[in-house]
Amino acid sequence: MSKKPGVQKVRKSRAQRLLRLILATFDPRAWAHFIKVMNFYNYNHLQEIRKAQVSRTANIAPNSGFANGQNVVIGENVTIGAYCQIWAGPEKARVVIGRDALFAPDVMVTATSYRYDEGAPVTDQAMDEADIEIGADCWIGRGATILAGTTLGEGCIVGAHAVVRGHFPPYSILVGMPARIVGQRKRFGA
């Protein structure tokens, strides 16, 4: 019994994949998509992060996004995970992230919000801005949202998908929508 038909099938499959790859390099749709992705990356990541005050030791995922980078400060050894969005205010509201903070993927930090009670459409209404301060050694869980005016003290932990607004003392553990304190983290060396 010969294994040649199976081997020939595998070789044919590899050849077809290689041919598709070669042909794709000449497909104008692929190049148009590439240009679109690079433009988005430059506009939403590189251009804004160049305006921000970022420590050289920060580790920022290349698919994270920033708005109003001139009002963003990122401290030493901060890690910002994939698909995080850091939006400072267009005028004055700052986002300040302390050293050693850790952001899981999909975290949203926004220092602005539209008013909703002054008529329609909402995009014609004024925006409210307020600073956000995230203390040193804070851990922000996946999918959490940090809203305008929030202050997280040093060492706070924010649970996954929490919605945080307000002032929280150091080493608080926060969960929920809206976030509430459910415990205290032990201080290092204490």
Q: Which of 160, 156, 159 is nearest to 132 (CA)?
A: 156
Query: Considering the domain 53-184 in this protein, what is its CATH number?
Result: 2.160.10.10
| Domain ranges for the chain | 1-51, 53-184
Question: Average of pLDDT values for 39-45?
Answer: 68
Cβ neighbours for 141, distance < 8 A, ≥ 6 positions apart: 104, 107, 157, 158, 159, 160, 161, 162
Residue with tokens 């996954």: 160
Q: Write the DSSP assignment of 130-162 as a string of letters.
A: --EEE-TT-EE-TT-EE-TT-EE-TT-EE-TT-
- The pLDDT tens digits of the residues spanning 99-142 come to 999 999 999 999 998 887 777 787 788 889 999 999 999 999 99
Q: Which of 100, 109, 59 is nearest to 80 (CA)?
A: 59
Residue with the larger pLDDT of the pair 93 and 2: 93
DSSP state of 178: T
Cβ neighbours for 76, distance < 8 A, ≥ 6 positions apart: 55, 57, 58, 99, 100
On the question of pLDDT at 158 being above 80, the answer is yes
State residue 41's pLDDT score.
67
Q: Average pLDDT, whole number, for the chain?
A: 88
Q: In angstroms, how far is the first alpha carbon of the chain from the final one?
A: 72
Q: Which of 106, 113, 57 is nearest to 86 (CA)?
A: 106
State residue 22's pLDDT score.
85
Q: Is the peptide bond before 121 cis (omega within 30 degrees of 0)?
A: yes
Contact by Cβ (8 Å): 83, 105: yes
Q: Which of 115, 55, 60 is nearest to 86 (CA)?
A: 60
